[in-house]
Amino acid sequence: MQWNQNYAALQGSLLLTALVVAIPIFFLFWALAVKRMKGHVAGLLTLLLTIIISVLVYRMPLSAALSASALGMVTGLFPIGWIILTAVFLFNLTVESGQFEIIKGSISSLSPDRRIQALLIAFSFSAFMEGVAGQGAPVAVAAAMLIGLGFPPLPAAVICLVANTPPVPFGPVGVPTMMMSTVTGIPATTMARAIGIDMAFMALIIPFFMVVVMVGFKRALEVIPAALVAGISYGATSLVISTYFGPELPAITASVVSLLCLVIFIRFWQPKTTWTFEEDKAANPATGVRHTAGQIFKAWSPFLILMIVMGLWGTPFFKNYAEKTHHWFLAVPHWPWLDGVVFKAAPIVAKPAVYGASYKWQWLTAPGTAMFLSSLISMVVLGISPATGAKVFAKTFMQLRFALITLASVIGLGFLANYSGMSFTLGLAMAVLTGMAFPIFSPIIGLVGVFLTGSVTSSAALFGKLQQVTAGHLGFNPVLTTSANLFGGVMGKLISPQSIAVACAAVGLVGRETDIFRKTLKYSLILLGIVIVVVLLQAFVIPWILPTAPAVS
């Protein structure tokens, strides 16, 4: 069986076809933003609607549509879902063992100044949590820690939402960047280098911007040395790791370096005046419990183990040993009912060309496997029994089961959009409608995707191929637009209903989501404006700063 994609399937009109096949995107927006459906329900219904439209509009064989959806869902779960599951498992082990309380105490006891505490927890430590767990944990944990120190609930939530931006494309363990690589075929190392440049720049801005949000510009200037230390140490480390080692470790390594540099710095420097909230005058603010160096080292040991194991996992020697020498991977070279069935057509290619379909999970060298091994070693170090570890793993799976369904359905949708031709139709239509102004819209599309789904990973799955195709037909470097999707998407985290719901739950403001949204909306738009300026510079002034990749793969 051979089926050729037709990007103008309705009456030969590209724009009419694009309008109709965009219905699933509009439905997803309505389901999440208006109807407020649960993510997994909205994801599955949107996938079902996309299958129907693919068959009715494009005349795609039903077997191929179902097979493409299944390939996407399997790819979403392994390796992406496996990473998320094991990352949260490692974090939950530290909570179960009681060591996470020591981690919190070791940070919170370093300075009485609320601005310094916010830099330590909302920026540096939140970035660490994003690197190892993601899934709302950074905002939830950091906001709860600030509340425990005596921060008022509303400022705590807003501060954490604003601060949790630079590490997002690299957390957990590089998943959003790897997802963009998966749906576009652009190497993950190339994507990491590109978005690493963007995030290093934002790391210089966000610490000071966060303090301005908290106390105003004048009071923020008093701690600008500490903000610069936190931001520069994070940005420089993240840039180096993303450039030379890929997407898995930038957030984890850079956040640890940022924490250490800031801790050392404030031992020798403190602001001239100690800033506190009005509420602090009526009570003695908590400064945390003192712990010994040994206790602190043990509490942090799971994450030190993680960095060591991930470092070993990323070496060429280990990858070659596992994959080329022993072939320790799971592969389906010809995905049934899809491989050899779908053919790309003009103008995407000069003449019809097969759109291959295969699956390969390098399970031993997968980041999730490294995370799982780190968790097992950490159980020994922390004295957690196998029975308790098994209970924590089961609890983690139950905690994430709906998130994994959402992930699988959205990535299944992304794969179906690619194989049906929907992504190509929308990309070609965007090229016609926006022309050379597309770099302005590229990060906005990423932001809208995150607003809809609550996830930079899901936004990449939905719009990554569209960004790549549009860039190719306008003559832009596709790395520019795909990285801009991630870059703009990060700013959508500030206003995503899911992110705000997590923040409200963490600080006890359930029911006041609108209050937080009104505050974060202006900050999101300010940061989006900065993102657009950076993307325009990369498009027209300094295009050499980004690596390159083929337009369509």
Query: For 242-278, what is each residue's pLDDT tens digit?
Result: 999 889 889 999 999 999 999 999 999 999 998 888 7
Vertex 71: Cα angle to 91 and 50 (nearest 5): 105
503 bridge partner residues: none
The pLDDT, as a whole number, for residue 351 is 83
Query: Would you say 188 and 246 are in contact if contact means Cβ atoms under 8 Å apart?
Result: yes
Token reading at 257: 């370096």
Contact in structure between 327 and 364 (CB atoms under 8 Å): no
> What is the rounded distance in angstroms from the CA atom of residue 300 to the CA atom of residue 232?
23
Q: What is the pLDDT of residues 27-50, one digit of tens each?
A: 987 887 788 788 788 889 999 999
Q: How do 353-354 and 330-332 pair as beta strands?
A: unpaired
By CB neighbour count within 10 A (0-12 exposed, 13-18 middle, 19+ buried), where does 34 fall?
Answer: exposed
d(CA 290, CA 110) in angstroms, rounded, equals 10
Give the list of residues 6+ apart from residue 10 with CB closer than 8 angstroms, or none. Answer: 16, 17, 20, 57
pLDDT in tens, 144-190: 778 877 889 889 989 999 999 999 999 888 889 998 998 898 999 99
Contacts of residue 141, Cβ cutoff 8 Å, sequence gap at least 6: 126, 129, 506
Q: For 190-237, what is each residue's pLDDT tens digit?
A: 999 999 999 999 999 999 999 999 999 999 999 999 999 999 999 999
Neighbour tally for 114: CB within 10 Å: 24
The pLDDT assigned to 335 comes to 96
Mean pLDDT, residues 348-373: 86
Please, what is the angle between helix 137-148 and helix 153-163, to 10°?
140
**What is the per-residue pLDDT for 85?**
85
Measured between alpha carbons, how far is residue 489 from residues 215, 439, 442 in Å?
A: 26, 14, 10
DSSP tally for the chain: helices H, then strands E: 25, 5
> 353-354 and 342-344: which strand pairing?
antiparallel
Determine contact, residues 492/446, Cβ cutoff 8 Å: yes
Helix H or strand E segment including 359: strand 359-361
Q: What is the average pLDDT across 385-392?
A: 97
